Copies of this chain bind each other. A is one copy, B any other.
């Protein structure tokens, strides 16, 4: 398909509602979805000439797509396409050969998925559920799982769940709330920078303009949320990817921001189950349920393949969408209710903590950051991160450039996910990575 040699003006049809730069952003998203990672988009001056529009229109559209993670801008270099999974096409997917040592963040240990106990939970549902449970599902989720999760979130996460809606995961939940925000007339969503690219994309997909707000070692800089933004997406328990915890001062500022400006806080309870040094902080939602939508899932505790998540909504809010399959919902309810989930989390916590300690030790005198929590850490570099990513890849180690999660490039660093790294691979992966970074 289109590369940088193509006349992009021909590919881009400016139609539909909104000002010209929004039309262009929409058209660009469609074209970019069909392109390979790293393809350069035309210089703004050239595209403006091709389209017969002002250069400002093009730079605005590019900036929007960079904020959404479709494009990556590097200082002094061409703006390039960034692939992150992307749209569902009618083509059978072509899978790249799996790297030998995969340190991509966002996965739990797939080797330790509790296969036997999950099969037992499913069989339990299929043996005991009344036949009416196989009928038209409740769109908000099965009442039993909603109740079980409300209890769990109250007990473990200090949440105050008036009610819980079951969804397919955090991405699905955030997408639904973004659509609901758009329906009420909200047009902008403030997000952490750096932050999870996929969530910025679903916000953009719901028609919201994404506004990156810088994160420092206390978490999001609340004072820098743009005036007029009525919603903000945050990861207070364990910021992704910097690994900081939202400080008490900032928590208070964030709640004040929401109360003063009638704002909504979207709280992604990222990695909250895995704190190794102390008890995890409770949710912001528990402090002011009227101002916070809380999101969680089992994607990083059990498996993303289960597609089970939840949203706790403030009273009066409604979202649309459909709940995951009822059998899976009831299996999770049974797994939590029986104590199986708690046991699984305890074993996982121990496993990840040990693995993290070994990885930190094996990386030697490297500059690392992030609190002792979760499934990833940040490795700071003295040289260009993209080059280290490539060198590591050649040695069979997959790591991620922190810039991939930034709206604007910053200090060179890598994000290392150790959730799905095999225990017997930690030392070798660390040695290869040190060689690549050296």
Contacts and interface: CB of A to CB of B under 8 A. Distances in A.
Interface of A: 15-17, 26, 30, 33, 85, 87-93, 98, 106-107, 110-111, 113, 115-116, 118-119, 122-123, 126-127, 131-140, 143, 146, 162-163, 165, 168-169, 171-172, 183, 185, 205, 303-308, 313-328, 420
Nearest to A89: B318
B325 A324 contact: yes
Contacts of A16: 185
A331 B316 CA distance: 38
B322 A168 contact: yes
A321 B314 CA distance: 25
Of A92, A111, A321, most buried by chain B (CB within 10 Å of CB) is A92
A308 B325 contact: yes
Given A146-B92, A162-B90, A165-B88, A183 B30 contact: yes
Given A115-B127, A185-B16, A328-B325, A92 B307 contact: no
Contact of A123 (B106, B123, B133, B315): B123
A119 B134 CA distance: 14
Contact of A90 (B107, B123, B163, B168): B163
A87 to B, nearest CB: 5
Contact of A305 (B88, B116, B134): B134
Contact of A318 (B87, B308, B313, B319): B87
Q: What are the 5 closest A-B residue pairs judged by CB atoms, nearest first?
A: A305-B326, A307-B325, A134-B303, A88-B140, A110-B131
Nearest to A327: B305
B88 A319 contact: yes
Given A132-B110, A135-B107, A137-B304, A163 B91 contact: yes
A205 B320 contact: yes
A135 B165 CA distance: 24
B322 A305 contact: no
A216 to B, nearest CB: 30
Contacts of A118: 126, 327
Contacts of A106: 136
Contacts of A92: 143, 146, 163
Contacts of A168: 322
A201 to B, nearest CB: 9
Given A91-B163, A118-B327, A137-B304, 20 more contacts: A26-B183, A85-B136, A85-B139, A88-B319, A93-B140, A93-B143, A98-B132, A107-B135, A107-B136, A110-B132, A113-B131, A115-B127, A118-B126, A119-B123, A122-B123, A135-B303, A135-B420, A305-B326, A308-B325, A325-B325
